[in-house]
Structure 1
Amino acid sequence: MPRPDSNVVVSAFTEDQVVRLTGISISQLRYWDRTDFFRPSLAYEDRRAVHSRIYSFRDIVCLKVVNSIRNESSVPLPRLRAAKEKLRHLGDDLWAKTTLYVLNRRIVFFNPETDRKEDVETGQAILEIPLKVVSGDMATAVRALSNRPNTEIGQIERHRNVMSNQEVIAGTRIPVRSVKAFADAGYSVNAIQKEYPTLTEQDIRAAIKHAAA
C-alpha cells in the first residue's frame, strides 16, 4: 500500500469501472497488461489477487484514446504497439499527453524536436484526435459514477459472485478492506476520497468504522 504524499494525487479505478468508462473489456485489459502493451499504474506483482490491477485517471484517458484509435480509425494493434515502441521515450502516458493523428490507419505524432508531424512509418499526417475533449468527457463520466441512490450512500453490502463475496461499499465494487488499508496507512478521509473519487465522505467513514468493528 502506498504512503500518503501531499504532492501526489492519484485517482484509483477498478477494472469494472474502467470497463464502464472506456468500453474496453476486462479480458482485453488483462491481455494488454499480460503482453506489456498497457499496464495499470497501480498494479501489484501478484495479478491473481483481487484488485491487483488499479488504474489511475491518466490510465483511463490513455485507454480511451487507444480504444478510439482502434475502433473509430481501425488502426490494428500491431501498429499501436509499433507506435508505442517508437514513442517510448515519452513515457507511459504518451497516449494522453501527445497530439496524435491518424492517416490510412497509421499513427502520426507531432515531434517537437523536428517541429513536424511524423508517421511512425511514413511521415504522413492528418485527422487530429482531440485529446482535451477526451479528457473532459472522461472527467464527466467519472462524476457520473458517483450518482448513486441515496439509499446506498454510507452502506456496506456483500453479494455472492461480487468481488469474491467480499464486503464492498454499496453500489460499487470497492472493498471495505481496501479503504481501511488506506486509513491504516495514514490517509485522511479527504486523501482517501482523492484515491476513490466515486466515494462520498459518508462511504469512507462507514467503511472504516465497519472494518474496525
Structure 2
Amino acid sequence: MSFPVDLAAVLSGASVSQLHNWRRTDLLRPEAKDNPVLYSFRDVVALRVFVKLRSEVPLQRVRKAMNRLKEWDLAEHPSAYRLLTDGDSIFLVEEDRAVDLVRKPGQRVLLSLEDAFAPFDNLQGRHVVDFRRPRPRLEVREQRLGGWPTVADTRVPYDTVAKLVSGGVDPADVARFYPAVTEQAARDAADFHQEVAQVRGRAA
C-alpha cells in the first residue's frame, strides 16, 4: 500500500514542506514512487520517528544520527531501527541497551524506549494523531491493507466511508452498505478524512 503526501503528513506529523525538504536532502526518499510522490508504510513509520525526535532535538542531530548509521554500515530502512532521545542525543536501541549516535558515538547506555506511535505535539505545536488509532474507531495495522487506515476491527478503508458521508449518506445509514461500520465510526472516518483534506489543501 502506498500513502499520498497528505495522508503521510497527517499520520507522521510532518508538514508537507518538511516532507519535500527531507526528500530533497535525502533524509528519507520514498520507497514507493517519486512521481507522484507516494510513501510506503515503512516510510511513514520512519517519518513519524523523525518528527517525534525532531520535537525534542534539532534536525541536525537527527541527520547526524542517520549518517552515523550509514557510517556503521547499518543500511536497513530507517523504520527498522528503534531510535529514541533523552532531549540531548539520539540513541539506537538494541535489545536492553541503547547506543549513542550523536554526542558520544558508540557509548552504550540503559534507557527505556518511548512509544513513537503515541500522540504528541510536533515542533510547530500541531497535535500529531495516535498512529495506531488516528481516531477512536479507526486503526492502522500494517498487515491490514498495507497499513492504510481502516474502520476498527474491519477491512473497510476510512476514505471509502468518508466518501459515502461526504456524498450525502447519513453516518447512521453507512451500516446499510457496511454492516460493521457504526454511526460513530462513520463520523470518525469523515472527521479524519477532513483532517487529511486540510493538509492536502495546504499543500496545493
What TM-score, normalized to structure 1?
A: 0.52
1:21 aligns with 2:11: yes
Say whether the 8 Å CA contact 1:102–1:125 is kept in structure 2: no
Aligned to 2:50: 66
Cα distance, 1:111 vs structure 2:
4.3
Aligned-partner SS, 1:148:
helix
Structure 1's unaligned 5+ residue stretches are: 1-10, 154-197, 199-213
Please state if 1:80 is matched with 2:62.
yes
Identical amino acids, percent of aligned pairs: 27
Q: Are the structure 2 counterparts of residues 101 and 21 from structure 1 closer, same or farther at C-alpha, using a change threshold of 3 Å?
A: closer
Aligned length: 133
Contact 1:119 1:125 in 2 (8 A): no
For 1:119, give the aligned amino acid: D
Match of 2:99 in 1: 118
Query: Match for residue 179 of structure 1?
Result: none
The letter for the 1-side match of 2:139 is T
Greater strand proportion: 2
Letter in 1 for 2:91: V
Deviation at 1:39, TM superposition (A): 0.9
Decide whether the 8 Å contact of 1:102 with 1:127 is kept in 2: no
Q: Is the 8 A contact 1:99 1:129 kept in 2?
A: no
Separation (CA, whole Å) in 2 of partners of 1:81 and 1:36? 10
Name the CA distance, whole Å, in 2 between partners of 1:132 and 1:26: 19
Matches within 5 A, 1:1-213: 11-44=1-34, 51=36, 53-71=37-55, 74-88=56-70, 89-91=73-75, 93-94=77-78, 96-111=79-94, 116-120=97-101, 121-122=103-104, 123=107, 124=109, 126-130=111-115, 136-137=132-133, 140=139, 142-143=149-150, 145-146=158-159, 147-150=161-164
Q: Is the 8 A contact 2:2 2:38 kept in 1?
A: yes
Measure, in 1, the Cα distance between the counterparts of 2:15 and 2:88. Answer: 22
Largest Rg, 1 or 2: 1
Task: Give me the CA root mean square deviation.
Answer: 2.9
Report the AA paired with residue 34 of structure 1.
R
- 2:194: which partner in 1? none
Secondary structure class of the residue paired with 2:91: strand
Change (3 A) 1:129 1:97: farther
The offset of 1:131, in angstroms, is 5.0
Q: 1:80 and 1:29 mapped to 2: Cα distance? A: 14
Look up the SS of the partner of 2:3 in the other structure.
coil
Shift of 1:32: 0.6
Residue type at the aligned position of 1:33: R
Q: Secondary structure at the match of 2:98?
A: strand
